Amino acid sequence: MGRFTLSRRIQALPPYLFAELDRKKQEVRSKGMDIIDLGVGDPDHPTPDFIVDAMKREAEVPANHQYPSYEGLPEFRAAAARWYKERFGVALDPGNEVVALIGSKEGIAHFPLAFVDPGDVVLVPDPGYPVYHIATMFSGGKSHFMPLLRENGFLPRLDRIPGGVLAKAKILFLNYPNNPTSAIADRKFYRNVLAFAEEHDLIVAHDVAYTEIYFDGVKPMSILELPGAKKRCIEFHSLSKTYNMTGWRIGFAVGNTELVGGLGKVKTNVDSGVFQAVQGAAIAALGSGESATREIRRTYQERRDVLLPGLRALGLDPVTPAATFYVWIPVPEGYTSASFCTHLLTKAGIVTTPGNGFGKSGEGYIRIALTKEKERIREALDRMRRIGF
């Protein structure tokens, strides 16, 4: 039997956060404990019927059984551009400012390959979605982690990035509404970002997968709403959270022509596009107006409004989410992120996500996803009360 050595880039990977969670979960489940899984951010409600029906129709069209176009169907890109215009007031050319993605994660993962050379620096939020750092590493770049701290509204302090780092920096990754902290950014912050990016000749790559999961009527904005943003910005959007379509794997990137085109060049060499029937269903979703998204938002807001007072009654101090379906919670005194998650899982059968899995600055927090019905959230709160901290 031959011995196969994994590449250095694979050996350097941190353990995949949810794989370890799954292992512990199976261990507890095998002991017969009822598990309440508030860990992974996967919507628990099905995709709306009208989208599924569109998929059924599209799947029966023989032309959709062949290779799709690399950039995405012209009709899909036009639908994405129309949606951006209606939602953000941003005009996009579907021909060269929109590209279809096999989910936004795929696009983010491939984007640094188009613009980062070995030794280049990428500015990465900490805590943050792990793919920003992993994509940087795979492209030969180096991540400089920007701490997101509660006292600063979980926005990075750009003025604290050392000059030596900025001299080598190529890309600034941002993600608002933010996973895992649930923070949103305002116009003033985005203006500062654009000025900073202009000064240091940076590409701004903005992950906006959660813009449609917002609370209290406060709509998150797109950085592309600002004058001149298209000069150096690309945004990654997804239908996963917006329409409960996580398994369908479809999203899109929009913005600067060269940035969208560079990502497109990578994609033409590594994938063959999105199944056209899925694109057809996505066109139906994007053209449906607010009805589906309004219902999805209402569900998460109701759950949030059960969870937050319950956590506070237990003596915890959760961050009130402005958007996303996550709640970011400092752990009680005497616990680390991992030990508090382990305590909740082994003693109460509640799965949560340790904050340090999202980066060093996530230590001292856990993340709870609002992806279970209110009754299960109440049950989780009761169990937490019973086991204590």
d(CA 173, CA 235): 10
d(CA 91, CA 77): 12
Range in 1-10, 55-64, 335-344 with the lowest mean pLDDT = 1-10
pTM (2 d.p.): 0.96
In the chain, the domains with their CATH numbers are: 8-46+291-387 (3.90.1150.10), 49-286 (3.40.640.10)
Q: How do 142-147 and 353-354 pair as beta strands?
A: unpaired
Mean pLDDT of 189-211: 98
Give, in order, the Cα–Cα distances in Å from 129 to each of 124, 180, 208. Answer: 9, 7, 12
Token pair, residue 40, equals 């992974």
Residue 2: the pLDDT is 61
Residue 13: the pLDDT is 86
Dihedral sign from CA coordinates of 50, 53, 59, 62: negative
Q: How do 36-37 and 350-351 pair as beta strands?
A: parallel
Give, in order, the Cα–Cα distances in Å from 4 to each of 1, 7, 111, 151, 277. Answer: 9, 9, 29, 47, 39
Q: How do 98-101 and 251-255 pair as beta strands?
A: antiparallel
Range in 19-23, 34-38, 152-156 with the lowest mean pLDDT = 19-23
pLDDT tens for 317-365 read 999 999 999 999 999 999 999 999 999 999 999 999 999 999 999 999 9
Mean pLDDT of 113-122: 97
Residue 148: the pLDDT is 98
Tell me the chain's radius of gyration from C-alpha atoms: 21
Single-letter residue type at 208: V
Mean pLDDT of 35-43: 91
Q: How confident is the model at residue 25 (pLDDT cuts 50, 70, 90)?
A: confident
Residue 149: the pLDDT is 98
d(CA 360, CA 305): 29
Residue 17: the pLDDT is 65
Residue 173: the pLDDT is 98
Average pLDDT taken over every residue of the chain: 95
Q: How confident is the model at residue 121 (pLDDT cuts 50, 70, 90)?
A: very high
Could you give the residue ranges of the DSSP H alpha helices within the chain?
8-11, 17-29, 49-59, 74-88, 104-115, 131-138, 163-166, 187-200, 257-270, 276-286, 291-313, 337-348, 374-387
pLDDT tens for 238-281 read 999 999 999 999 999 999 999 999 999 999 999 999 999 999 99
Residue 41: the pLDDT is 86
Tell me: pLDDT of 22 over 80.
Answer: no
Tell me: pLDDT of 1 over 60.
Answer: no
The partner residues of 254 in beta bridges, in order of sequence, read 98, 235
Among residues of the chain, what percentage have pLDDT more than 70? 99
Tell me: pLDDT of 18 over 70.
Answer: no
Mean pLDDT of 111-139: 97
Q: Using an 8 Å Cβ cutoff, are 109 and 139 in contact?
A: no
